[in-house]
Structure 1
């Protein structure tokens, strides 16, 4: 497959310059003259206080991103994106790579990495991408980019996409996952997961207000066998005036060399109501368990987005998780505010795991600068330990 990816990229670039109507010099000029270059800086303070660890984590990190998107010639374009993430003061935190285990984890390791590098062919309703790329499917519950962390998760592979008024579908083959612990990684947290990953996703629009999605995700990892799985599911999103309903179901079993033999189910029911000045949200999410032996896993998800921002459930417990949550959001002038409460119990045995309160304020100073103040407080019952986290972030886009 690696050979076919290289062949696709080589053929695509060659075809852009091979058409007699456009001389190679003119094509190169178009690629450059119609290109866009973007620069993004994201400073973040993250402080963590965790029971059982004497030292508090203090992380001041800066992510610098440079993105180049070429112009288009004969439906061919390419993108290059470089990221650099590093502490800008003393590294009093455990990045999961730096070995500072006397501190709580702040998973933002130091490193410079090629975040994206791909060639794209796009014509009408069809697109094909070969190379290192973002893959963000639906709400990123199963496949996402972990964009909250300073080093993003991206994918090496080949993707095909088709869209029309009634149907949008995609297929991606991935042979390497560039995880947030890269580019160096550690023995505990690998920088890359290598293997064969097939991602199939299709959405049918019943009408403007109702959409039905089906998905098949097959993951077979060479160096992360316990994360290998086959997942089949459906998702529904419907708008009913001021109310939006989301429901999802999936079934999962082991794949590849996964040492576990299991079957587990996933359920989600979520309702959001938009009022004049406030939005209310409540939901029930279950990552099921196979009789307490193995829980439903989502190894490629944007996990920070789910089950509380304290990140206590990045790995599903063997007994599974039930998450009952409710939240309210609104605006105070230009500032966006949100508050959410989670109550966690196990799927198998209905054991109290813990609860969490999450709050965030986002202030877009202008179109180029955004600030974020964010807080999470996890109160443990039988899972993990009491933890509080606070973040302050400034993002500049040019």
Structure 2
């Protein structure tokens, strides 16, 4: 019997018959290798491919951007020997059609809107880890780092080129229900690729993050992100904050959802500013039988209209609307009041989910209406290897930027 799942999977299988299969068995920390050679040869290879079409209709351009790209990640994780293991991962992003979009480095910015996916090939990750200390993992090299909900530190995984950090990290879980993270970052490999002058930022930054999940109703996170950017002085900031997030069961299959967060940011190092601004998040909602409804208020403060709260290491696409109009916080700050409804299907349509969000944007300083946005997502995880998604964003400008509509169609596979 044919179903949506089997038909879609068959189409994807037919289009990916050339995918390399590399069956290997990894050695875990509980089952370490007997020799270095065994650890190196007895690891696990993995493959991740994402094919995407993106259209951008932006009011201040006569031409739409149309990008048809593919991103391929090929990686290998070794087994563990004497507490040591390693990861190496290559990433390639390619344009598959006529380059009718501004990829930020192709000189087409006067004709087309931005789709920040330049063609590139690079070492995406390459690091060594040591787990020989009880409850501790130390890693050094180029790493993918996502902290919390990625509001302050993330890989920007939505774009075809990840943001990764050249860093030394320490993760400790020796205390019950507690996770400590520390990272020293000396270089930020940004999404714009190796050929862009904005592709790398030299850094002397320190990242601290501590989570405690022992409370019945949620997880408490405290953090301090001390950023020293040697290339963009305005990105040098000290951000210190605390977050609480969780859910509480109120009936069968029904939960109350909540998040509260506060942070303060000041200028640091060579930052020419002299300011102190606040970040506030308050969110509440209800989840029941696969559905959820939430209302959220997020505020990125302003110093009297002179400078806004900055999040230069964030996965910015996750926040303040998928049209990406607020990747840089306006000098007058940003208040984002938004409402989200989502549903995860079960039964014959298990793996299918849909979500819709409405945003109302205003300035933090001066209470100026920036605009509104409607976002829509329909995604289908066919199985653990294959997925498809359609995503849409419609930003309607009042006083900030211009009307913008974006549409994406994505096919993903991973092994």
Cross-structure match for 1:324 = 337
Q: Does 1:179 align with 2:196?
A: no
- Contact 1:34/1:72 (<8 A) preserved: no
SS of the residue aligned with 2:131?
Answer: strand
Q: Does 1:159 align with 2:176?
A: no
Cross-structure match for 2:69 = 61
- Structure 2 residues not aligned, in runs of 5+: 1-31, 250-254
- 1:388 is displaced (CA, Å) by 0.1
- 1:87 is displaced (CA, Å) by 0.2
Which range is displaced more, 236-245 or 102-111?
A: 236-245
SS of the residue aligned with 1:328?
Answer: strand
Of 115, 140, 143 in structure 2, the residue corresponding to residue 130 of structure 1 is: 140
- 1:210 is displaced (CA, Å) by 2.5
Of 296, 299, 310 in structure 2, the residue corresponding to residue 286 of structure 1 is: 299
Cross-structure match for 1:108 = 117
Q: Does 1:47 align with 2:78?
A: no
Q: Does 1:345 align with 2:362?
A: yes
Of 375, 382, 395 in structure 2, the residue corresponding to residue 378 of structure 1 is: 395
Cross-structure match for 2:244 = 236
- Structure 1 residues not aligned, in runs of 5+: 1-21
SS of the residue aligned with 2:219?
Answer: strand
Alignment of 1:116-265 (within 5 A): 116-123=125-132, 124-163=134-173, 164-186=175-197, 190-241=198-249, 242-265=255-278
Deviations 1:285-340 (A, max 9, x none): 00010111111010000000000000000000000000000011113423210000
SS of the residue aligned with 2:107?
Answer: coil
Cross-structure match for 1:369 = 386
- 1:396 is displaced (CA, Å) by 1.1
- 1:365 is displaced (CA, Å) by 2.0
Deviations 1:147-167 (A, max 9, x none): 000000000010001113231
CA distance in 1 between partners of 2:284 and 2:83 (Å): 41
CA distance in 2 between partners of 1:176 and 1:379 (Å): 37
SS of the residue aligned with 1:29?
Answer: helix
Cross-structure match for 1:268 = 281
Cross-structure match for 1:14 = none
- Contact 1:44/1:61 (<8 A) preserved: yes
CA distance in 1 between partners of 2:199 and 2:404 (Å): 26
SS of the residue aligned with 1:220?
Answer: coil
Deviations 1:331-360 (A, max 9, x none): 342321000000000000110000000000
- Contact 1:59/1:106 (<8 A) preserved: yes
- 1:270 is displaced (CA, Å) by 1.1
SS of the residue aligned with 2:39?
Answer: helix
Cross-structure match for 1:297 = 310
CA distance in 2 between partners of 1:264 and 1:394 (Å): 40
- 1:182 is displaced (CA, Å) by 1.4
CA distance in 2 between partners of 1:68 and 1:233 (Å): 36
Could you state the TM-score of these two structures normalised by the residue count of structure 1? 0.91
- 1:238 is displaced (CA, Å) by 3.0
- Contact 1:286/1:321 (<8 A) preserved: yes
- 1:29 is displaced (CA, Å) by 2.9
SS of the residue aligned with 2:37?
Answer: helix
Which range is displaced more, 65-74 or 30-39?
A: 30-39
Deviations 1:94-151 (A, max 9, x none): 0112111110000001100110000001144100000000111110000111000000
Cross-structure match for 2:20 = none
Could you state the TM-score of these two structures normalised by the residue count of structure 2? 0.87
- Contact 1:362/1:373 (<8 A) preserved: yes
- 1:213 is displaced (CA, Å) by 1.2
- 1:240 is displaced (CA, Å) by 1.6
- 1:206 is displaced (CA, Å) by 4.1
CA distance in 2 between partners of 1:37 and 1:342 (Å): 41
- Contact 1:303/1:314 (<8 A) preserved: yes
Deviations 1:47-96 (A, max 9, x none): 00000111100000000110100000011100000000010111100011
Cross-structure match for 1:7 = none
Cross-structure match for 2:15 = none
CA distance in 2 between partners of 1:392 and 1:272 (Å): 29
